[in-house]
């Protein structure tokens, strides 16, 4: 799903709309494995938006790891990771560390 075409209530796909500072805050609170599972099956624009928050070397590792995780990630693992990230997003809003802008 393209970042430019997501509408409606918050869902995992909407994190691509966060400001860079907010996206970085969210990413700092997400387990790397959860992030990798959650990104399986997302479109290139979404993956690049996430990867843009990493250093050049971090971006390279992230994309390589995503390719490997894509080989064995189950639908259940992907769904669970996305739900966990959504819960972290809302927790950060409730704590005042992120502000909902949608």
Task: List the structure tokens of 95.
Answer: 């704590």
Residue 14 is assigned to a structural domain of this protein: no
Residue 86 is assigned to a structural domain of this protein: yes
* Whole-angstrom distance, CA of residue 78 vs CA of residue 73: 7
**Number of domains the chain contains:** 1
**Domain membership of residue 77 as a residue range:** 19-94
- Per-residue pLDDT reduced to its tens digit, 69-91: 999 999 999 999 999 999 999 99
Residue 2 is assigned to a structural domain of this protein: no
Element (H, E) at 87: helix 75-94
* Whole-angstrom distance, CA of residue 56 vs CA of residue 83: 28
- Per-residue pLDDT reduced to its tens digit, 7-59: 334 578 888 899 999 999 999 999 999 999 999 999 999 999 999 999 999 99
């Amino acid at each position: 799903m393209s970042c430019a075409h997501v509408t409606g209530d918050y869902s995992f796909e909407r994190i691509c709309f966060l400001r860079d500072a907010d996206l970085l805050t969210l990413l700092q609170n997400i387990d790397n494995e959860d992030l990798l599972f959650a990104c399986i099956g997302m479109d290139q624009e979404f993956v690049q938006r996430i990867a843009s928050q990493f250093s050049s070397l971090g971006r390279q590792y992230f994309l390589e790891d995503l390719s490997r995780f894509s080989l064995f990630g189950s639908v259940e693992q992907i769904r669970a990771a996305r739900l966990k990230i959504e819960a972290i997003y809302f927790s950060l809003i409730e704590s005042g560390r992120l502000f909902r802008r949608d």
